[in-house]
Chain A
Amino acid sequence: MLDKGKISGLQMALLLYPAIMATFFLTLPSSTAYYARNDMWMTGILSAFFGVLVIYIATKLHELFPGKTIIQQSEHIIGVLPGKVIGFLFFFYSIHVAGLITRMYAEFVTGQFFFKTPLLLIIALMVLLASIAVRGGIEVMARCAVIFTPIFIFPLLLLLLLFPDLELHNIFPVLSRGILPVLQATALPQAWVSELFFISFFLPSLNSPAKGRKWGNITLAAVLLSIIYVNLITLFLLGPDAANKTYPVLVTFRYISVYGIFENLESLLLAMWIFGNFIKICVFLYVAVVSFAQVLRLSDYRPVVFPMGILTIVFSFWGIPDASVLGEYIRYVGPFEIPAVMLLIPFLLLLIARMRRSGTAKK
C-alpha cells in the first residue's frame, strides 16, 4: 500500500457514510417516488441485499489477497495486462464520478443559494480543499471525517421537528400496484449502496482488517436506515407531491417551523451538504489517485493529487451541459454503470480467484 497511514474501523465507517449519502439523499425521495410512489420507503430495505453482497465480495477478496486493493488484486487474479485494464477502468470510473459529484454539489449550491457566484469557482474551491486533504493522506481524511460526519448527520435529526405536519396515513395503500414499481425504484438506491465496494481501498489501511466486514455492515445499516428515514419523512410531509420536487429534502427542511421562531433551516442543510460532499469528494478523489498510482506502480501518489484535482474539475463540466443531462445520467445511466463497476466486475474477479485457488489446491 502506498499510504502508510492506519485508520480504525469507525473512521472508515465515518468516511464511507457521507461517501454514499452526501450527494444522493437530497434527490433520493423524488427519484424513488417517481416509480414507487407511496411505497418508496421500501427501496431502502431492498437495496440492503446489494450492500451486503458488495461488502462480502470486497472483504473476501481482501482475505484472499491481504493488504491489497482491488487494483492490485485484479493483476494477481487475471494477469498483469488484463488487470491493468480493470485498474484503469476503476481509475476512470472514480475520477468521472468524482467530477459528477462535484457538479451535483455545485449545481445545488448555485441553483438554490449562491445565484451569482460562478459555478467554476464553487467547484474549484471544493476540489482544491479536497485535494489538500487527500494529499495529507488517509489519516488526515479520516480525522476530517470524524469531525465532519457528525455535523453531516445531526441536521437530519431536526427533520423530526416536522412531526406535527406529518401525515402518517400517506403510507397507505401499501404495495397497491404490486412489487414491480418498487423494484424499478430500487435501481437508484442499490447503485449508490454498491459504492460501499470502496471499502476495498480502505481495508489495507485498517489497523485491524479482520473487523473490515463488521464495520462495512455497520455503515450499510446506517445508510439504509437513513434512506428509509429520509424517504418516510418526505412521504409523510409531501405525499403525492414528492416525485415532483427537484430537492424534496430541501423542501422538508424549509418547512420546519417551530412556533415561528425556529425556522428557515435550509442554511443548515447547505452547511451539512458542504461537509458531506467534502468527505465524499475526498473519498472519490482518493480512490482515483490510489488506483492511478497503483496501476502505474508509482512510488508515491502525492505528486498526482493536484493534477487529478484538475481532471476532476474537467470531468465536472465535460459532457454535462445542464442540470437535465445530469438528472438523466443519475436516473438512467447510474443504476447500470455503478453496479457494473462496483458489483459485477469484483464479483467475476472473486469467482475467477476462487476457481484458480481450488484449481491449484487440487494439483
Chain B
Amino acid sequence: MKISIKSCILLSLLVFLEGCWDRTELNDLALVTAMSFDKGEHNEIITTVQIVIPQNQGSGGSSGGVSGGAPHKTTIRSGAGVNISDSLSKLQQKTPRKLFWGQCKIFIFSEDIAKTGIRDEFDFLARHPQPRERANIFVSKGKAAQTLELFPPIENSSSEVLQKLTDFKIGYKVTLQELSKMLKGEAGAAAIPIVLILPKAESAEPFQTIPYVMGTALFKKDKMISQISGKTTHGVKWILNEVDEFTVTFKVAGNEGLVSLKPVKAKVKLLPQIVDGKWKMKIQVKATGSIIQNGTAMDSTNPALLKKMETAFEQDIKVRIEQALIEVQHKNKTDILGFAEAFHRKFPQQWEKNKERWDELFPGVEVSIDVAASILRSGLINAPGGIPEDEVVAK
C-alpha cells in the first residue's frame, strides 16, 4: 500500500519535472546571429535578423553538388513596426521558427536611426532579457540590413566577420553594456564604431563580400552628431588607453624613408588639474614599440640614432593625439574621451558645481600632452636591410 502511494507520487513528479512549459527544441528555433534596425519610408522601424540555415552548416563536402557555388549559410528576414518590439512581432509572423537570441552578438543601427536618436531602441535592448550585454553595437553607413545580406567568402556569416574583426582590438569596439554606461555617464556622449561594406573582389559573386569596421560615430546624448575617420579613431584610442598591438609609422627628421613599429603598446593616464578656475588636462603617455620596418638608412643599433627615432616616435604620437583632440574636442565638442569622469573623480566638489555646463567647459579644457616613448628592440636584423654596408648611416 505504502509503496504504491510512493510510486504514485514519484510518477506524478515526472510530469512536473520535465519543465514542459519552457522546453525548447532546436528544430523549433531560428538562430539569430545579428540584428539590424533601419528606418522605413513612413518613419517605422524595420528590424532585420540574420538567421542561420541549419541545413547548410555542414563543411560543404556533401552539398558541393548545388549549382551556383556553395549554398548560403544564412538568410535575412525583416519586419516593420512602430518600434522594435512591434516590428519583431511582425517579423515572427513571417518566421515559422521561434527567434532565438542566444547567439546574437551583433546589433547594427542604420545612420538615419542613429541621427534621430537611439534611446527608444536602446531601452528595448537593455530591458529585454534576451539581448546579451556583451553584444557589439555598430552604426552602419546606408541601410543596416544590407550588411546582414552579405555572404562572406571565408567566414560563415557577416556577423561572424564583424565579431572576429572586433576581437582584434585595432578598431574601436563597444558592447551593449559599455554603451549603456556611456549614455548614463557624466559626459552625456557616446561613440559607436561604423561598419561599411567592403567593395567585392571582381571575381566574386554578387553579395560575396564582408562588412568591415572603419571610423566612429559620435553621439551627443543618444543622437549621432557626426563621425570621425579611422585615423582619428586611432588617436582617440590613444587617449582612452586602449592601445594594444598598434602599428605606428613615422618619419624621422632629416632622413628619407619611414620607420614602422609593431606592436606598439602604451600606458596612458589622464591627469586633470584645476588651476585658478582653469580646467586643464594632462595626457601622460608611456609607449614602447619594436621596429618591424626601417626604410631609413639609419642603423638602429646605435643608441644615438635610436634616440633620434624615439624622439620622432614621441612626436608622432603627440600629433596623432592632437589631431584627435581637434576633431573631437574642438570640432564636434563631444566628450567621448573620458575627461568628464576624470574630473569627477579628482575634483568631485568642483564637478558637482559645474557639471551642468560641461558642454561649454569641455571645448575649453587646456590639454597638454606628455609623451615618453622608447623603442625596445629592432627585429631580426640590425643595420637597415637591402642596402650596401657603406650606405648605412651608423653615426
Chain A interface (Cβ < 8 Å from any Cβ of B): 111-118, 121, 125, 169, 172-173, 176-177, 237-241, 244, 251, 254-255, 257, 260, 263-264
Contact = CB atoms under 8 A, between A and B. Distances in A.
Interface string B328-367: 0000000000000100111011001000000000000000
Contacts of A263: 134
Contact of B346 (A121, A173, A260): A173
Given A115-B22, A240-B181, A251-B133, A121 B102 contact: no
A117 B22 contact: yes
Nearest to B23: A116
A128 to B, nearest CB: 10
Contacts of B345: 169, 172-173
Nearest to B183: A241
Contacts of B132: 254
Contacts of A257: 134
Contacts of A264: 102
A111 B180 CA distance: 21
Nearest to B20: A117
Contact of A113 (B16, B22, B344): B22
Contacts of A260: 167
Nearest to B347: A173
A172 B167 CA distance: 29
A325 B314 CA distance: 59
Contacts of B167: 260
Contact of A238 (B21, B102, B177, B352): B177
A244 B341 CA distance: 18
A118 B185 CA distance: 38
A239 B181 contact: yes
Interface string B249-279: 0000000000000000000000000000000
Contacts of B16: 121, 125
Given A238-B181, A239-B181, A251-B133, 7 more contacts: A114-B21, A169-B345, A241-B181, A255-B133, A255-B177, A260-B167, A263-B134
A251 B134 CA distance: 10
A241 B352 contact: no
A172 B133 CA distance: 24
A176 B177 contact: no
Contacts of A115: 22
Contacts of B60: none
Given A176-B348, A238-B177, A241-B184, A116 B21 contact: yes
B19 interface: yes
Contacts of B19: 114, 117
A255 B129 contact: no
29 contacts: A111-B129, A113-B22, A114-B19, A114-B22, A115-B22, A116-B21, A117-B19, A117-B21, A118-B21, A172-B346, A173-B344, A173-B348, A176-B352, A237-B177, A238-B181, A239-B181, A239-B184, A239-B185, A240-B184, A240-B185, A241-B180, A244-B180, A244-B184, A251-B133, A251-B177, A254-B133, A255-B133, A263-B134, A264-B102
Contacts of A118: 21
B299 interface: no
Nearest to A263: B134
Closest 6 CB pairs of A and B: A176-B348, A173-B348, A172-B345, A117-B21, A116-B21, A114-B22
Contacts of A241: 177, 180-181, 184
Interface string B99-122: 000100000000000000000000
B245 to A, nearest CB: 15
A74 B22 CA distance: 48
A240 B16 CA distance: 42
Contact of B349 (A116, A176, A237, A244): A176
Nearest to B341: A169
B222 to A, nearest CB: 15
Nearest to B129: A112
A244 B133 CA distance: 14
A113 B129 CA distance: 8
A251 B177 CA distance: 9
B310 interface: no
B22 A240 contact: no
B186 interface: yes
Nearest to A256: B134
Interface string B229-254: 00000000000000000000000000
A355 B143 CA distance: 80
Nearest to A117: B21
Nearest to A240: B184
B170 to A, nearest CB: 17
Contacts of B346: 172-173
Interface centre among A114, A176, A263 (most CB of B within 10 A): A176
A257 B133 CA distance: 11
A121 B19 CA distance: 10
A115 B332 CA distance: 45
A177 B348 CA distance: 8
B166 to A, nearest CB: 11
Nearest to B344: A173
A260 B166 CA distance: 12
A257 B22 CA distance: 26
B36 to A, nearest CB: 22
Contacts of A251: 133, 177
A251 B102 CA distance: 14
Contacts of B348: 173, 176-177
A335 to B, nearest CB: 26
A276 to B, nearest CB: 20
Contacts of A173: 344-346, 348
A159 to B, nearest CB: 14
Nearest to B103: A264
A173 B16 CA distance: 51
A263 B180 CA distance: 20
A237 B176 CA distance: 13
B93 to A, nearest CB: 19
A273 to B, nearest CB: 15
A112 B131 CA distance: 12
B388 to A, nearest CB: 47
Contacts of A121: 16, 21
